[in-house]
Structure 1
Amino acid sequence: MPKRYWYIIITYVATQLSALVGVPVLYGLLGFGETDAITIWSVLSFTIATIIILRLLKPDMMEAQTREDRSSSGKIVLWSIAGVFLALFAQGIAALIETNIFGIPTGSENTMQLMNIARESPLFILLPVVFAPITEEIIFRKVIFGQMYKRFNFLLAVLVSSLVFGAFHFDFTHMLVYFSMGVVFAFLYVKTKSIITPIVAHMAMNSFVVLSQYFYTEEDIRRMQEQLQTIVTGGFL
């Protein structure tokens, strides 16, 4: 694996861990409110991390422009749009399996917590809508999946990268949901041979989730999810 990929991984992990120091400094020493401290540090640290990661990825971007098998802009756009629906469908099926087979309650606590922060501090929305899709797709699809796919088969590469992708969301109860998304985004990357496709699809999907949940309470969201799963389950029976 190229040395720059290790630097990309280190940058991402360091950014995740930096909140353990940065947030307490803003909250405890500088007097920011807890939500503002989380928002300011998250946006600031991920802005810096995204710039560093994109800079490190510049040789790959230049190489992609000269590849003969690169996808056209039209194909990337079409698969980016299709990818949103594929990801939402896969997420819905995974949620159905979690609820009906494993008895896991609907609704992700991780998503709920992020949305609570976003409602109090709208600037935080930049994290799931912009920074997370860019950094996560580069790390989990371009670097981890991409390097494994070169050496092994698609199945093993997507299995490992999607499991790691789910683990980094620290919501192990809904691991299957994150895993299903990882599979879809890996498929989009392979299908178009461009990391832009899963990034755009990931951005669009997160934007849809954020906008659909921004104006609702946790109880409203849980109720809607349960009603939707009842309708979908009824359609299969």
Structure 2
Amino acid sequence: MYDHLDEIENEFKEIHEEQKNKDEVDPKMQKIYRNNLFLYLAYMILPIILSIFILIALTDIDFFFQDVNASEFAITNAVNDVNGLLIVDPNNFENLDSDYESFLIPVGADGTHIIYVHASATFITDTDFFDSVLEGDVYTYTLKASVLNDIIDGNIKKWPNNAQINFHIPYDDVSPLVAGSSVDNIIELTKENSVPTVALNAIFAFTLMLIIAIPMVIISKPILIGDFNLLKVDNESVGTVLAKSGIGVLYMFGGNIAVGILVMAISTMFQIPDQVSANQLAINLMLKSPYFILMIITAVVIGPIVEELVFRKSFFGLIKNENWALVISSLVFGLIHISTEILTGDIGMVIVSSLPYIAGGFIFGYIYMINKKNIVIPIIAHMGYNLISVLMSMFLLYVL
């Protein structure tokens, strides 16, 4: 009886190995892997083409673009800049997105103008720059007058975390302190402009991912069906698949803690600014907008499917050496998430910002490898991890 069971088990094992080897050498599968990589490359290039189309076709539509004065443009820039220093009349918030003010913290006043820093700024707790007072359960922070004067005079150019101070000051409505200084000779003051709305950013990100995801899933249909069938061959129940995916999520959070400690050590040792990535800032803005559901669908459903098909299935399918596939896919996965930091040319910032994403790519690759290169489990793990991350971000944005 037991011999018979062993025979069945060996038969299923042979089927699995046969299917795995077939996927790795089958020219049809190789073509699918290459097509997926080309599609993702298109995903990186497509924004440039779509941006040109949007500028031509949608600029005059108020729903997508908003004409703003110099003060409003300064506010918009500051909301997207974790290292910004905004000095503006608060009345200028009235015509902008109602959630913008929640991303900024008032740290002082100059006449009728208020001085703001970003709510995600890590340097705000530094006692050399800021005074803090606990009011109820909330701390209020004030930028020290002597520090503000030195910043305006150009004597202090960096925040305590070693990040460059970026001024956001309207050219036509400067505060008394700024008017009496030479700051306008040091920086270019903000002028009026036309800016994309939060609606455009949310719809653009969702549509772009969808344009890539639909053909990729159609092309990868044989892969997805094959991996689902292999789960059946291995007698993997839904509970087992979810459990393995859940373990993958735990790996991710454990890896985040370890990488967080490493990033902190590197930042301290080499005086690299410790700050929220531009990618995370953009996500936070969209999660706080009325179009947050598009961000959730993109991050929790579409994104994991696309990224796992590309960075795990396709990279591992095209690179025969598993170790090299793991390393290369992890590096590329990390770098594509920090394109904004790469464009700054700051190598230290690129390294620090990319490490969490590289580690994430490595862990998802490891999950893929230990589960017999079945893409279903890392996709579910990726979805679960992103869902928890999004819910945590929304809790911080809406509750705290």
CA distance in 2 between partners of 1:176 and 1:97 (Å): 9
Q: Residue 43 of structure 2 is aligned with which of 15, 20, 24?
A: 15
Letter in 1 for 2:236: S
Q: Residue 114 of structure 1 is aligned with which of 276, 283, 299?
A: 283
Is 99-108 or 35-44 further displaced after alignment? Answer: 99-108
1:86-127: CA deviations, max 9, x gaps? 101101211110112333515333212221122123122222
CA distance in 2 between partners of 1:211 and 1:19 (Å): 27
- For the residue of structure 2 that corresponds to 1:72, the secondary structure is coil
Which structure is richer in relative contact order (CA contacts within 8 A, separation 6 or more)?
A: 1
Residue of structure 2 equivalent to 1:139: 310
- For the residue of structure 2 that corresponds to 1:14, the secondary structure is helix
CA distance in 2 between partners of 1:58 and 1:133 (Å): 16
Residue of structure 1 equivalent to 2:223: 60
1:51 aligns with 2:219: no
Residue of structure 2 equivalent to 1:213: 393
* Stretches of structure 1 lacking an aligned partner (at least 5 in a row): 221-237
Report 1:95-114 matches (<5 A): 95-103=260-268, 104=272, 105-114=274-283
Q: State which structure, 1 or 2, has the greater radius of gyration over its C-alpha atoms.
A: 2
Q: Residue 368 of structure 2 is aligned with which of 175, 189, 192?
A: 189
* Change in 2 beyond 3 A, CA 1:71/1:168: farther
* Stretches of structure 2 lacking an aligned partner (at least 5 in a row): 1-26, 66-195, 342-349
CA distance in 1 between partners of 2:395 and 2:54 (Å): 28
Shift of 1:50: 1.2
Letter in 1 for 2:357: Y
Alignment coverage as a number of residue pairs: 215
Structure ranking higher in helix proportion:
1
Percent identity reads: 27
Q: What is the RMSD computed on CA atoms of the aligned residues?
A: 2.3
Residue of structure 2 equivalent to 1:89: 254
CA distance in 2 between partners of 1:16 and 1:114 (Å): 18
* Change in 2 beyond 3 A, CA 1:65/1:198: closer
1:152-181: CA deviations, max 9, x gaps? 1x4322111100110111253322211111
CA distance in 2 between partners of 1:42 and 1:82 (Å): 30
Residue of structure 1 equivalent to 2:18: none
Residue of structure 1 equivalent to 2:182: none
Is the Cα contact below 8 Å between 1:27 and 1:37 reproduced in 2? no
Is the Cα contact below 8 Å between 1:189 and 1:195 reproduced in 2? yes
Structure ranking higher in strand proportion:
2
Q: Residue 57 of structure 2 is aligned with which of 20, 29, 34?
A: 29
Shift of 1:65: 4.6
CA distance in 1 between partners of 2:385 and 2:215 (Å): 25
* Change in 2 beyond 3 A, CA 1:163/1:90: same
Shift of 1:16: 2.9
Residue of structure 2 equivalent to 1:4: 32
Residue of structure 2 equivalent to 1:200: 380
Letter in 2 for 1:195: I
Letter in 2 for 1:144: F
CA distance in 1 between partners of 2:51 and 2:286 (Å): 14
CA distance in 2 between partners of 1:66 and 1:165 (Å): 28
